[in-house]
Amino acid sequence: MTIQLGDTVPDFTAATTEGEINFHDWLNGQWAVLFSHPKNFTPVCTTELGDVSRLKPEFDRRGVKVIGLSVDELANHDQWADDIEQTQGHRLNFPLIADADRKVSTLYGMIHPGADDTMTVRSVFVIGPDKTLKLSMTYPASTGRNFDEILRTIDSLQLTAKYKVATPVNWKQGEDVIIVPSVGDEEAHERFPEGWTTLRPYLRIVPQPGE
């Protein structure tokens, strides 16, 4: 299955390290990140889960729920959580889905047979409060993700949702943003009464709102 931006993400019921969940109910109208791991007890995954556990307060501050997925039995997850804490310094502090039957992985297109027909690739899905897909990324199993970059993209998505601005290349929190083209000058004056800099009619730069 291919999930495209703007699609309502598929619902499912699954066992996790924090009990059984119904995914749409678990989302509960919040932003969320669902990300997959090829397999338990693999080196890159161990470093990633440790880092997401370290960054959990940053996700919480943005109102973003985090949930991982691994194609292993639930019984293996607790022992792996011990390994993560001992090697990375942070214990698993968010739910991890046990997807041994590949049900969720298949539903979300996380298994790419050309790469591996049994393990998931490193998929990332950022989901909005309306249960629609706002962003997706796919990494090969050998490349660890940059979760600071995922936080940066969430900051951008949340700014767009709240203020109707876009973020330019290499944007970081606190830097200038762009008024989206769908906002005419009249509406822009209402939204940004302190004004903006017009480089071109389609390129209007404004300080990041909410700062």
Give the separation between CA 48 and CA 54, rounded to whole angstroms. 10
DSSP state of 9: P
Report yes or no: 90 and 47 within 8 Å, Cβ to Cβ.
no
DSSP-derived letter for residue 8 is B
Rounded distance between C-alpha atoms, residue 210 and residue 109, angstroms: 36
Q: Count of CB atoms within 10 A of residue 211's CB?
A: 7
Helix axes 43-61, 147-163, angle to 10 degrees: 30
Residues with catalytic annotation?
45
Query: Tokens representing 145?
Result: 């993700």
Name the nearest CA neighbour of 55 among 187, 149, 118: 149
CB-based contact 134:96 (threshold 8 Å): no
C-alpha dihedral, 174 to 183 to 129 to 168, nearest 10°: -40
